[in-house]
Amino acid sequence: MTETTTIAADYQMWVSFAIIVGAFSLYAVDKVSIEVTSLGVLCALMMFFHFFPVVGADGVNTLSAETLLSGFANPALITVLALLVIGQGMVRTGVLDTAARFILSSCGPRSWISIMAVLVTVMVVSGFLNNIPVVVIFIPIMQALAERFDLPPSKLMMPLSFAAILGGMTTLIGSGSNLLVNSALIGMNVKPFSFFDFTIPGLVLAATGLLFLLIFAPIILPKREGMAATLAGKNPDGKQYIAQVTVGEGSHLLGKKAVGGIFPALGQMTLRMVQRGEEALLPPFEDFEARIGDVFVVAATRKEITNELSRDAEGLYPGMDDEPKIRDAENEDEDQMPWHGGERVLAEAMIPPASRMIGQTLTFAGFRFKTRCIVLGVQRRSRMMRAQLTEIRLQAGDVLLVQGAPEDVQALRGNQDVLLIEWSAAELPAHHHAKPAALVLLSVVLASATGFLPIVIAGLTGAAAMVAWQVLNIRQAFRAVDTKVLTMIPAALAMGTAMHATGGAHFIASNVMGVFEGASTWMVLSMFFITLVVLTNIISSQALAVLFTPIAVDLAISLNAPIEAFAVAVVFAANCSFASPIGYQTNLLVMAPGHYKFADFARAGVPLILIIWAVFSLFVPWYYGI
């Protein structure tokens, strides 16, 4: 090879690295949508390699547009999307709800037994279903456990996500990153994994993680209340109610202003929110002055509310539109509630990944018109959004604080665009499509696990069967397809292909070998694993799986070690997104329902990572004979 050709090849490799680092940075800061970043990366790679082609021995550009776009037809992507459709069918039919009802009814009054049963169930199911629908299904169930045993949701939601991630380590279809590692191995003409090839080491790591979640996570995780509980507040003098009172003409509150962020004109009642048209005003109330038509959401005892309404009978009336609305924040018996028949309840509802409301505002989606419920607040990644509610474009994982008549709130259970974060075993319907959905899932697992069909054929056939059996209609099936997954995986595959074709993977492997020159294979494998774990908490696990599989293969060949051991290191490391909510979508889904801050994931995730690292370093080298 001439010097000029070498310089050109180096230039192509470094430009590829620059594009990859830029993509990782955009994925991490989350300022640009994942879809835009992924498509931008594809465009940058296609344009660069069009003008600076990597010419193979046959004289053809090995990184042509056709090659870089081939990720959209990659079997791993098709399988992941098919599993999302199958998972949505399981969500819609309530198959796992029924199983959870049976498990919880058999666990008795001890909280740790019930929590363990749910986490084990989640881990087992996550080995055969995409983690996202599993977590969506079990969020309301975890909320029910929190209410049953008087635990804050923050003690249970993160263990739910972590259990799903751990369960995804145990089988080939347990997560999208597993399938992508396998796809990368196939692309390099390396023997791929079969369905249960890494199940034994995966179970060892998952069991270790489960012990941590049961013993240490409840101690480490913070205690935080939900939006509804925070709005209601606590009052030692009596039961608290959330009530709506409307300011009318002649009210003594007209013209009264907030002082120091609070509204003292209400006396003993605590003002929690003001609904002014479609705008929700939240405390602290700065420069606030009461107007006619303002709807005050207050927290107070029954006596305080009654006294205030009696004192200002001509200018203050309960509810909105002259309809009395009030609820007992401590779940008092319905028959004992004042103004019975017009009560309103508070509830939290999450926007699931398949919702049609994603990207829309509440006004554009017609939420109030369609559901007869009003939204009092929107929480995103544990933070209450301060913008006007009518201006917020909803995202998957957002939690809405809704208020409405009990029957209207309960009707949200049948709404496919929101997930009511409460769960009652007595009210779960046995959907008539549950058996076909369960049969489809079982058939897909058996066909792929036994080798009767390749995973991509079994998965795609199963997704088609969900539609053919009318478990889902075409629109619902397409809604289950996550656009982030649809764009990110092809972009990651393109980056991996570019890095391999330009020699970037070999370059990194050689430099790693230089750093660890003289070190044992065991040490190199251990350090390679923890390095990838750190990266997977910063960037997408799917991108990491694709980009580092070629490096893992080159490292194993350089060390004359089993390729399976280093490929498994990539699989497990990509499933260790515990220290950050960025690396894995299920972490983002539980962030708002669990009311977590960003640092809470590091608080619980870093110790879990260190334990997983120690167990991996001891068990995996022994298991693969290193």
Domain ranges in the chain are 234-328, 345-427
Mean per-residue pLDDT, 439-458? 88
Residue 207: the pLDDT is: 95
Tell me the pLDDT of the chain averaged across its residues: 79
Residue 239: the pLDDT is: 46
Q: Which two tokens stand for residue 28?
A: 């991490």
Residue 44: the pLDDT is: 93
**pLDDT (tens digit per residue) in 207-244:** 999 999 999 988 998 887 665 555 555 444 444 555 66
Contacts of 455 (CB under 8 A, 6+ apart): 75, 79, 172, 173, 179, 195, 448
Highest mean pLDDT among 40-54, 102-116, 506-520: 40-54
Residue 303: the pLDDT is: 67
pTM over 0.85: no
Instruction: Tell which CATH architecture fits domain 345-427.
Output: 2-Layer Sandwich (3.30)
Better-scored residue on pLDDT, 327 or 365: 365
- DSSP symbols for 486-504: HHHHHHHHHHHHHHHHTTH
DSSP H helix total and E strand total for the chain: 26, 11
Q: For residues 555 and 566, is the Cβ–Cβ distance under 8 A?
A: yes
Sign for the CA dihedral angle at 92, 93, 98, 100 comes to: negative
DSSP annotation of 348 reads: E
Does position 8 have pLDDT exceeding 60, yes or no?
no
Topology of 234-328 in CATH? Alpha-Beta Plaits (3.30.70)
Please name the residue ranges forming H helices in 403-539: 406-411, 434-449, 455-468, 474-479, 483-501, 504-515, 521-536
Better-scored residue on pLDDT, 103 or 72: 72
φ/ψ bin of 293: left (φ > 0), alpha (ψ from -120 to 50), beta (otherwise): left
Does position 368 have pLDDT exceeding 70, yes or no?
yes
**pLDDT (tens digit per residue) in 98-114:** 666 677 677 767 778 88
